[in-house]
């Protein structure tokens, strides 16, 4: 969605509000998650005579899987973003700068803004719970549901040599 800011730029003390949903499906592959209802946002622009400010609120649900046990995990993030709006002839978009840059026709690409900010808010690693025990590396059993029959004391062959050395020391 492109928001045209010409009016709010021209009229001192004017405001402009928009809200909607951004399809952020393009982030799915990189983030290893899906976004069943997109990213909901509301944005407000205010002309303060010498500048235009932007305040954005956004929330987004995601579905991913636990990095340890692969169970489905549902979560949500919500965040606020405040910035000044700056016009740039080249229409270059600078996310890490304080000013959000819009194109030469006074349009701001909300989809791009929301996706760019959302990426920084989403968790890089999702766990079903902090102390998830994960899957047994041998049989694949979900260790959250109880111990499996595998021998956990079996020593890694690479460590056997070391173990022998240590035992001889006793
Ligand atoms: Zn888990
Ligand atoms: Zn096992």
Question: Considering the entire predicted model, what is its pTM?
Answer: 0.77
Q: What percent of the chain has pLDDT over 90?
A: 64
- For residue 66, how far is its CA from the centre of ligand 1 (angstroms)? 5
- For residue 67, how far is its CA from the centre of ligand 1 (angstroms)? 7
Q: What percent of the chain has pLDDT over 70?
A: 86
- For residue 24, how far is its CA from the centre of ligand 1 (angstroms)? 25
- For residue 35, how far is its CA from the centre of ligand 1 (angstroms)? 20
- For residue 73, how far is its CA from the centre of ligand 1 (angstroms)? 8
Q: What is the mean pLDDT of residues 41-66?
A: 93
Burial track 141-164 (b if 16+ CB lie within 10 A, e otherwise)? ebbbeeeeeeeeeeeeeeeeeeee
**Nearest-ligand number for the alpha carbon of 148:** 2
Beta partners for residue 84, in sequence order: 53, 99
Beta partners for residue 100, in sequence order: 85
Tens digits of residue pLDDT in 102-136: 888 888 899 989 999 999 999 999 999 999 999 99
**Nearest-ligand number for the alpha carbon of 66:** 1
Tens digits of residue pLDDT in 66-108: 999 999 999 999 999 998 887 665 544 444 455 677 888 888 8
């Amino acid at each position: 969605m492109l928001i045209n800011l010409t009016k709010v730029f021209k009229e001192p003390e004017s405001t402009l509000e928009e809200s909607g949903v951004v399809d952020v499906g393009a982030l799915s592959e990189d983030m290893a998650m899906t976004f069943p209802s997109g990213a909901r946002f509301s944005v407000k622009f205010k002309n303060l005579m010498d500048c235009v400010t932007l305040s954005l609120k956004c929330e987004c649900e995601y579905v991913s899987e636990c990095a340890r046990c692969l169970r489905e995990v549902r979560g949500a993030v919500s965040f606020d973003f405040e910035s000044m709006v700056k016009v740039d002839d080249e229409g270059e978009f600078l996310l890490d700068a304080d000013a959000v840059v819009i194109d030469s026709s006074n349009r701001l690409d909300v989809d791009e803004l929301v996706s760019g900010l959302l990426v920084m808010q989403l968790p890089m690693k999702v766990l079903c719970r902090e102390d998830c025990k994960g899957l047994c590396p041998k049989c694949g059993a979900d260790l959250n549901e109880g111990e499996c029959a595998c021998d956990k004391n079996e020593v890694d062959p690479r460590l056997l040599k070391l173990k022998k050395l240590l035992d001889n020391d006793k």
